[in-house]
Structure 1
Amino acid sequence: MTTAIDLFAGLGGWSTGARAAGVQVLWAANHWPEAVKWHSANHPTTQHVCQDLHQARWEDVPAHDLLLASPCCQGHSKARGKASGNPQHDASRSTAWAVVSALEFHRPIASVVENVPEFIQWALYPAWVQAVEALGYQVSPHIVDCADLGVPQHRKRVFIVLTKSRAPLVLDLPKRPHVPASSFLDLNAGRWSMIDKPGRAAATLDRIAAGRKEYGDQFIFSYYGMTRSGRDMARPIGTITTRDRWAIVNGDRMRMLTASENLLAMSFPADIQRPDNHRLTVHMAGNAVPPLAGQRVLEALQEAA
């Protein structure tokens, strides 16, 4: 498998991982012009299309060995699931059917679809699997913590491997040593502020106090969510999301992670081209497939195929 296309390409996590695994990404698509702009900057030899893939003209897409896809996950994620007001069915969930359409037209050798683990609990997941199987593919979901693949971040995701094999293909994904958050944190960077300053939220001060009790004067902590204390910098960071989540405490100062640190936590290369806008970069990073995780999965697929 030497050529691929990338659906819902975003900032290019799949494409970057594929390139590292020796796979040429011929074509990439996303509905968001800003994402297409930066994917194009980092993958200039790839053909790019900005469109809603429900309306894709698959006959205009080059033939390929491998289809990579990361359909919208927000409708499935616990963070924004039904309990948070998401409907049981919405347009974001229906993006997964574009994968079926592309497979039906091109019939590549294989495909890997990445999403949150809740994707396989989707009410229409059995129907989606049935459609994929009707096209001659075996379906093999792999639920993986990306930290076990060498990404410096605990990020549980499902990689659904679709192959034209006689039986579902189970990849050999050996657990690798965890890479600590300290590997990408730069204590000399960013905009620091004093912890003890007027207006600091009580919940933030409570989290910092709990973190200090457990880790001393240097640690990271979640600015929101269920985490009530800190995290040791010697561990991988927790999941990077689409908005600022993680903060660093260093003595009597604190700051949020920089955009560059968010990207490094996702395992993007340090020289990636990205927006100057912090919020936009963090959003793109949190939406991405960690490139190193994608690379490891594709290397295992090539070995097994």
Structure 2
Amino acid sequence: MARRSNSAKRASKSDKISKKPPNFEIRAVDLFCGAGGLTLGLENAGINVAMGIDIDPACEYPFEANNKAKFLKKSVEDVSESELADAYGDAKITLLAGCAPCQPFSTYSKGKSDESDERWNLLLQFGRMVNESRPHLVTMENVPMLAHQKVFEKFVQSLEGIGYHVSHQVVNCADYGVPQQRNRLVLLASRLGPIDLIAPTSPSGKHKTVRKAIEKLPKLSAGECDEKDPLHQASELSALNLKRIRVSKPGGTWRDWPEELVAECHKKASGKTYPSVYGRMGWDEPAPTMTTQFFGFGNGRFGHPEQDRAISLREGAIIQSFPKSYKFAPKGVPIRRKTIGRLIGNAVPVKLGEAIGKSFISHLNNLDEAQAIPA
């Protein structure tokens, strides 16, 4: 939930004017930038992203090949205040954005991660950088479970303690044009006044479906690759899994299969609680949440609704609302499926990034023209 009342009223008002250009240029730095989903979304909204920072070298090509921003391969723990200042230059409005790695807070960790995990410290490093550089605007996106952790409470308190107005809420990305059921925690903060996320752009009943997103892509068989798009490739299937997917129903589970096809682990009492694997997506609803292993049939409900295969890398990227033309590897370089799958699955959906960007622009446009912009 958002931290303040009347947020829906303000969000609705701001959404009506979100298409206006910003009163001032917003220049941003994207921490933990990954392949560039958040950066592209912010750019699409009209925000100038100057630099993306990530420690993963695999991010550099897709980030720079598809965005105007420069990529800096560096741990956020080593990023200095002067490096941020150089990136911001003489911009009148500055934004620090980021999505710290979510694995420690994800439901997939099943309680195995605690504050001894060094990745928990990355959010505090984000807070350090905010405290040192004092950008006018801040945003963070992460998994919903983070909202229940003390490290997040400390982060919010640190922002409020240095004068930021903070709001945060859990949203379904499908409400913002992403063809995927993906719940995420979104935080917005501003030194200029109260701020909230814009109202849903495609609320329930208007969600973009799997059919709308990927139906027109060329058909593939398991193990096949499209000649014109190397990213549109499908993983191989064993003979057993080919039999399984052929009897799988869109939106169904392995419980629909004949007994002889059910895996031994699922016949046990402990395995019966995991129905959301080895399933097909439904055509006329949003996809399930993309993970870093969405290209494998057995890793979730990632079977194509109609074709006997798991979805391709390109289809996963489109479901994350990347444009069909987004480049993840240089031309002629072999596709490393696990690497690109990780980049796609970990990305901030582009359309969610765009909604965040429009929220900041509406926030600025709602300020009184005479209101001073703090240095």
Indicate whether the TM-score tops 0.5. Answer: yes
| C-alpha contact (below 8 Å) 1:140/1:169 kept by paired residues | yes
Output one character per residue of 1:114-140: Cα deviation in whole Å (capped at 9) or x when no partner: 001111111222222221222211221
- The offset of 1:26, in angstroms, is 0.5
Which range moves more in the overlay, 101-110 or 233-242? 101-110
Equivalent residue for 1:159? Answer: 186
Task: Please point out which of 191, 200, 206 is paired with 2:241.
Answer: 200
Does the 8 Å contact 1:260/1:270 carry over to 2? yes
What residue in structure 2 maps to residue 74 of structure 1? 103
DSSP 3-state at the match of 1:243: coil
| Partners of 1:256 and 1:202 in 2: CA distance | 13
Q: Which has the larger radius of gyration?
A: 2
Give the AA of the match of 1:285.
I
- When residues 165 and 214 of structure 1 are mapped into structure 2, their CA distance, relative to the original with a 3 A threshold, is farther
Q: Which amino acid aligns with 1:178?
A: H
Shift of 1:175: 4.8
Secondary structure of residue in 2 paired with 1:157 = strand
Cα RMSD (Å) of the superposition?
2.9
TM-score (norm 2): 0.70
Partner of 2:303: 247
Mapping of 1:128-167 within 5 angstroms? 128-166=155-193
68, 77, 82: which one pairs with 1:54? 77
Mapped to 2, the partners of 1:258 and 1:248 lie a distance apart of 9
Deviations 1:21-48 (A, max 9, x none): 01111111000011123212222x4232
* Counterparts of 1:90 and 1:98, CA distance in 2: 14
Distance in 1 separating the partners of 2:82 and 2:181: 39
| Counterparts of 1:263 and 1:279, CA distance in 2 | 13
Q: How many residues were matched structurally?
A: 290
Matched, 1:92 2:119: yes
1:264–1:210 distance in 2 versus 1, CA, 3 Å: closer
With 7-16 and 278-287 compared, the bigger mean Cα shift is at 278-287
Greater percentage in strand: 1
Partner of 2:57: 33
TM-score of the superposition, structure 1-length normalised? 0.85
**Which residue matches 1:218?**
none
Q: Show CA shifts across 1:83-130 (max 9, x none).
A: xx3234411121112221221222111111000111111122222222
Structure 2 residue matching 1:72: 3-state secondary structure: coil
Amino acid at match of 1:69: G
1:227, CA displacement in angstroms?
Answer: 2.1
SS of 2:214's equivalent in the other structure is coil
User: What aligned pairs does 1:220-235 form with structure 2 within 5 A after superposition?
Assistant: 226-227=275-276, 230-235=280-285
Task: State the AA in 2 paired with 1:162.
Answer: A
Corresponding position of 1:171: 197
Structure 1 unpaired stretches of 5+: 216-223
Q: Counterpart of 1:189? A: 219
- Which of 318, 321, 334 in structure 2 is aligned with 1:267? 321
Matching residue within 182, 198, 209 for 1:180: 209
The 8 Å contact of residues 75 and 90 in structure 1, kept in 2 or not, is answered as: yes
| Cα distance per residue 1:188-229 (max 9 Å; x no partner) | 433338xx98433998677549839999xxxxxxxx954266
Q: 1:206 to 1:132 in 2, by over 3 A?
A: farther
Q: Which amino acid aligns with 1:258?
A: S
Counterparts of 1:203 and 1:162 in 2: how far apart (Å)? 48
Who is 1:237 aligned against? 287
Corresponding position of 2:311: 257
CA contact 2:45–2:354 (8 Å) conserved in 1: yes
Question: What's the CA shift for 1:169?
Answer: 2.2
